[in-house]
Every structure is written in C-alpha cells, then in structure tokens.
Chains A and B, each alone.
Chain A
Amino acid sequence: QKEVEQNSGPLSVPEGAIASLNCTYSDRGSQSFFWYRQYSGKSPELIMFIYSNGDKEDGRFTAQLNKASQYVSLLIRDSQPSDSATYLCAVKMDSGAGSYQLTFGKGTKLSVIP
C-alpha cells in the first residue's frame, strides 16, 4: 500500500516564528511532491512543488526533499495568522501505463498565534 504520512497536529506557532511541516512517503519511485494549503471549508490550493533533492524557496516558503530518506518538508518563515490552515502533502506515484495519480496525506493543521 502506497502511503503518505503527516502529523495531524495541530501545530501551534507564534506569529513571526518558523513553522515546520513534515511528510514521509512509502513509494521509493515517487517523482514529484506537492504542498497544498486548505482553509477550513475550502478546496486545496497549491503552495509549492518540488522534484529534486535539496531546497526550493518561494517567498516565505521553502520545500525540502530528501529522496534517500523518503522525506519532504515545508518551512514557513515569518508565520502569519493568515497561514493558519491545513497543509496537505501530495506525492505523485506511478500508477502504470503512463497514468498519474496524487496520493495525499491526511494533512497537518497549523495554527499561528498572534
């Protein structure tokens, strides 16, 4: 069974701090990794994607990927109350015949305290 694991939280951080969200995956052949943000009652929206080992930065967000450890993380610097949401990790797993599926973790709920 191909799985994506995340701590459910809630993860509480004070405003201005760094929030660190973690995700592990079971399929060693996974190629690309996505972080989605989902506000309560809303649909997910893409924050970042990463496919090479190392760090990828976009504004206050940094995605980190370590394929050897099957681990991907999202760092949010200078956390703001508006960052309070559930963050979903999604992994592209090969489902054969060129098809494409994303497997989602259950999400980590982040609360930024003013």
Chain B
Amino acid sequence: DGGITQSPKYLFRKEGQNVTLSCEQNLNHDAMYWYRQDPGQGLRLIYYSQIVNDFQKGDIAEGYSVSREKKESFPLTVTSAQKNPTAFYLCASRELAGIYNEQFFGPGTRLTVL
C-alpha cells in the first residue's frame, strides 16, 4: 500500500533530551513537510523540503532540525532548545508538479514531555 508512515505513534521525552520522529513515504513525492498541532489550533509549518539534501524553515523552526538524505525519508529532531515540545506532529508529502496537488498526511506522532 502506498502512503506515509510515522513512528512512533506516541513518544515521551524527558526534559533536556533530543528525540527524533520518523517519517517515510512510498508515494514517490518530491516535497515533504512537518507540521505541529496544539490543542484547538491549526497546523503550523516547522520545516519543508522539495528536494533531497535541501530544506527550508517554516514558521516555527526554532528548536527543531531536519534532514533529507533520501527522497523517501524526512526525519524531524526535536532538540532540547524547543521549550514547549508537547504537541501532535504531522508529516505530509505531495507531488511537486502541479499547483493543485493535495498534501497527504501521515497518521501523526504525539509527543509528550515528562
């Protein structure tokens, strides 16, 4: 089945720890995105990538880092510099060609800081 997978589904972090959230897609999409969602809030863009080995900051990149070494993978690291990381994290991808192509979302990772 084609789609986007995220792991783990739930993640608990102690203060001061870095954690990495996985995002993999087998849709052959060029563009990948990371969003953060807080309760009662919309999605806020953290980072996005349109090509391997290149990525751009979104609206709330501070305290996060990403890499794009393979087309299929776009992991997100939540560093200790992120002061309030408890949130629902969503990864998305889309075909780059065509301005109307939808973004497909993965199932999400719920991160909780203990």
A residues in contact (CB < 8 Å) with B: 4, 8, 31-32, 34, 42-46, 49, 51, 88, 90, 92, 99-102, 104-107
Contact = CB atoms under 8 A, between A and B. Distances in A.
A48 to B, nearest CB: 10
B2 interface: no
Contacts of A102: 43, 45, 103
B48 A101 contact: yes
Given A43-B90, A101-B58, A49 B102 contact: yes
B40 A8 contact: yes
A43 B40 contact: no
Contacts of B108: 42-43
Interface residues of B, number: 24
A32 B100 contact: yes
Chain A at the B interface: SS class? strand
A45 B105 contact: yes
A92 B102 CA distance: 10
A58 to B, nearest CB: 13
27 contacts: A32-B99, A34-B102, A42-B107, A43-B90, A43-B106, A43-B107, A44-B43, A44-B90, A46-B103, A46-B104, A49-B100, A49-B102, A51-B100, A88-B42, A88-B43, A92-B99, A99-B48, A100-B94, A100-B99, A102-B103, A104-B35, A104-B43, A104-B44, A105-B42, A106-B40, A106-B41, A106-B42
Interface of B: 31, 35, 40-45, 48, 50, 56, 58, 90, 94, 96, 99-100, 102-108
Given A34-B102, A51-B100, A99-B50, A104 B107 contact: no
Nearest to A92: B99
Contacts of A42: 107-108
A44 B105 contact: yes
B107 to A, nearest CB: 5
Contact of B31 (A49, A100, A104): A100
Given A42-B108, A49-B100, A100-B96, 20 more contacts: A31-B99, A32-B100, A43-B105, A43-B107, A43-B108, A44-B43, A44-B90, A44-B105, A45-B105, A46-B102, A49-B102, A51-B100, A100-B99, A101-B48, A102-B43, A102-B45, A104-B43, A104-B44, A105-B42, A106-B41
